[in-house]
Structure 1
Amino acid sequence: MVYWLCITTEENWKVIKERNVWGVPERHKNTIAKVKPGDKLLIYIKQEKVGDEIKPSRIVAVYEAASEVFRDSSRIFKAPRGMGSETFPLRIKLKPIEIFPTPVEFKPLIPKLKFIKNKQKWSGHLMGKAMREIPEDDYNLILGVAK
């Protein structure tokens, strides 16, 4: 089993929750191709400004991959600014395991996370990625904080 951190926006988190599906742009096909049914996916929402409020980066749920990767170009996800008409066509069906009652704020975890080697420039470990593999220790740490 492999553990993944899936990076999304507030808006696309609603789509994931409603439809139990995860999608990535074409350019991330090599990454999503490694996901197998049974893998665990943590949903990470990037820091965003919503109205006057800055919502911190946080982890909101854990899902299990419930399908192999498939292609679907229907417009259900909203492309972030600068991504044009991207539809995130490479998708995986998801089975919800837990939607955290209280999201886990990400920044306080950084000193303890093994996959983040450079703690000062931690965002570089996530920037430009749709998802990334994380060690089981990091997965368990995040779940422990969520409890």
Structure 2
Amino acid sequence: MTVWIASTNRDNWEIIRKNNIWGVPKRNKKSIERSKPGDKILIFVKQETVEDTIIPSAITAAFEIASKPFEDTAPLFIRPPSMHGDESFPYRIRLRPIKIFPEELDFKALIPKLNFITNKKQWTGHLRTAMRTVPDEDYDFIMKASETPRG
């Protein structure tokens, strides 16, 4: 079993949550093709600014991959403003929720303990692709952190 982390924005996170589906652009076809049913996937949402408020990057949920990758060009996901063309995120997998975190996990607070983030100062480079693998220990740490009350 492989553990993945999937990078998205908040608009597409809502689509993932409501539809239990993850999609990647054409340029990320090879990474999604490496995923298999039974693999786990964490959802990472990027930092965004809404009006004058900065919403920090976060981990929002854990899913199990429930299907083999498939192609579907039906409109579903929202193309981020930074992406050019008419990308529809056509390479997709179905998901089964393991846990939707009641409170998002502030990603920056997790960085010191995450093994896949080797450059702690320039950590965003580790999340520039749509999906990448992470060690089991990082998955376990994130799942445990999701159980700890914050306040």
Give the TM-score normalised by structure 2: 0.94
The alignment's C-alpha RMSD in Å is 0.8
CA deviations over 1:57-99 (Å, ceiling 9, x no partner): 0000011000000000111101111323110000000111110
Q: How does 1:7-18 map to 2 (within 5 A)?
A: 7-18=7-18
The match for 2:75 is 75
The match for 2:87 is 86
Which SS does the other structure have where 1:61 is aligned?
A: strand
Counterparts of 1:57 and 1:82, CA distance in 2: 17
Aligned residue identity for 1:7: S
Q: How does 1:9-28 map to 2 (within 5 A)?
A: 9-28=9-28
Aligned residue identity for 2:120: K
The ranges of structure 1 where at least 4 consecutive aligned residues each deviate by more than 2 angstroms after the TM superposition are none
Counterparts of 2:138 and 2:112, CA distance in 1: 11
Instruction: Tell me whether 1:33 sits opposite 2:33 in the alignment.
Output: yes
The match for 1:122 is 123
Which SS does the other structure have where 1:86 is aligned?
A: coil
Counterparts of 2:50 and 2:86, CA distance in 1: 22
Residues paired across the two proteins, number: 146
Shift of 1:5: 0.5
Which SS does the other structure have where 1:23 is aligned?
A: strand
Alignment identity in percent? 50
Counterparts of 1:90 and 1:12, CA distance in 2: 14
Counterparts of 1:82 and 1:124, CA distance in 2: 16
CA deviations over 1:9-65 (Å, ceiling 9, x no partner): 000011101111000001111111110001011011000012221100000001100
Q: How does 1:36-115 map to 2 (within 5 A)?
A: 36-83=36-83, 84-115=85-116
CA deviations over 1:113-136 (Å, ceiling 9, x no partner): 100111111111112x00110000
Which residues of structure 1 form unaligned runs of 5+? none
Counterparts of 1:59 and 1:126, CA distance in 2: 12
Counterparts of 1:97 and 1:113, CA distance in 2: 20
